[in-house]
Amino acid sequence: MSSGDEGLLTLTIKMRVSPEPSLFKELVSLMKRYREALNHAIKVVIENKALSLGKAHKLLYSILKERYGLPSKIAIDCYREAIAIAKSWLGNPNRGRVPGAKTPRLWLTNKYSYRVRDSYVEILGGFRLRIIGWDKRYDAYPNGDAILLFKDGKFILGISKRVPKPAKYIPRGILAVDINEKHIAVGNSKTEHRFETAIRRALHYKHLAEELQKKYSSPKCSAWLRRRGILNRVRYFHRKARNIIEDWAKKTSYRLVSMAKQHQYAVAREYLTGLIESVRKLPKEHRVGLTILSYRRLEQWIDWQCEKNGVPIIVVEPRGTSIACPMCSSKLIENGYRRLRCSRCGFEADRDTLAVLNIERRALVQMWGALTPLNASQMTDVSPNR
């Protein structure tokens, strides 16, 4: 996944590649040195604000070659990547720790440091890797820069491509998406579906990690090697939790964007940054962290799927989506658990249905500049799919 700009979309085409056995060790060693060199270069670039190639070259080129043993061209790729990472980190107002690479890798400039020939990728330094399988749909578009990763014993090459964005259709209606901690309600005045979130599943692994950490932080346990094993296990659990969220966000966004495309609807979602800010004020618990991560990843994946599939997207302000009556805009009053009722027109529904209807309504206003009247009788069609 990646962002695009006017008219073009940047895709990363991933493929498994495999080096000749005799060069396996040498390549992995180079990629490990590159990772260390990159982490060093990121720090230097940020500390010295060396965001230009000239400045970075002066500060880093000889160190990257001598201390990390990188070939000349790869040393240049290395500080170029460091500049790109530093720029995006500095440009993020919510930046956390200085970013760093964990996986052995190589950043490759198109044509200079790598090229694709038949079913092989050739990398500067005499490496030749066989391509095991790839998505041939984008073969017609020129290759951009690439990243080679060594993960779980496998080499993965990601080549970036710029492809034209598909044209967006004129929507026949709205598919509103409401997100809360337990589930996602997707629908409009004619239909409604609910998807579970993955927060509970991910939380399970966060708790496992926490228990292990507690158990082995007692003074009784001091064997370093054993701790190291435990530490890896703890990290594994954290990673597992994040992967569950990512996988869920990807699949859920795909399902709901496909649904929108099938019916030629525009997808309407709330402006999530505000929601995230309000969640951020809660105590720092795993649940809160995972909720923020879920919102953010789902938001990004929905937008991406929409761009990729030519589905129009409408972002509405989140304020009060479940407070106002979707029929007459009057204030709603509580009427039992998670249910609300309008004192003026008598309309009644649960919170999530209300949120969906209100998002739909706001999106219609935003799109047409006027309200398309909703028909209350259509509410009988509401059918949660789980």
Residues of this chain that interact with Zn ion (CB under 5 A) are 325, 327-328, 330, 342, 344-345, 347
What single DSSP character describes residue 374?
Answer: P
CB of 381 to Zn ion, least distance (A): 19
Nearest to Zn ion of 8, 328 (CB atom): 328
What single DSSP character describes residue 137?
Answer: G
Tokens matching residue 137: 């749909």
Extended strands (E) in 143-259:
143-151, 154-164, 173-179, 183-187, 192-196
CB of 357 to Zn ion, least distance (A): 11
Radius of gyration in angstroms for the set of CA atoms belonging to the chain, rounded to a whole number: 25
* Contact between 77 and 70 (Cβ < 8 Å): no
Nearest to Zn ion of 74, 324 (CB atom): 324
* Contact between 85 and 147 (Cβ < 8 Å): no
At CA 207, angle to CA 201 and CA 209, rounded to 5? 110
Nearest to Zn ion of 290, 374 (CB atom): 374
Cα 277 from Cα 345, distance rounded (Å)? 34
CB of 373 to Zn ion, least distance (A): 13
Nearest to Zn ion of 226, 344 (CB atom): 344
Nearest to Zn ion of 123, 357 (CB atom): 357
Kindly give, in sequence order, each residue whose CB lies less than 8 Å from that of residue 261, ignoring residues fewer than 6 positions away.
309, 310, 311
From the list 277, 319, 313, 282, the residue with the least C-alpha distance to 295 is 277
From the list 303, 292, 319, 304, the residue with the least C-alpha distance to 197 is 292
Nearest to Zn ion of 41, 357 (CB atom): 357
* Contact between 293 and 242 (Cβ < 8 Å): yes
Cα 68 from Cα 37, distance rounded (Å)? 6
Nearest to Zn ion of 184, 340 (CB atom): 340
CB of 338 to Zn ion, least distance (A): 18
Nearest to Zn ion of 181, 348 (CB atom): 348
Nearest to Zn ion of 231, 333 (CB atom): 333
CB of 368 to Zn ion, least distance (A): 21
CB of 327 to Zn ion, least distance (A): 4
CB of 316 to Zn ion, least distance (A): 19
- In degrees rounded to 5, what are phi and psi of residue 243? -65, -35
Helix axes 272-280, 286-309, angle to 10 degrees: 170
What is the H or E stretch that residue 342 is in? strand 339-342
Kindly give, in sequence order, each residue whose CB lies less than 8 Å from that of residue 121, ignoring residues fewer than 6 positions away.
17, 114, 115, 128, 129, 131, 157
Tokens matching residue 372: 């398309």
Residue 348 to residues 80, 88, 321, 351, Cα–Cα distance (Å): 58, 47, 15, 10
CB of 345 to Zn ion, least distance (A): 3
Nearest to Zn ion of 216, 347 (CB atom): 347
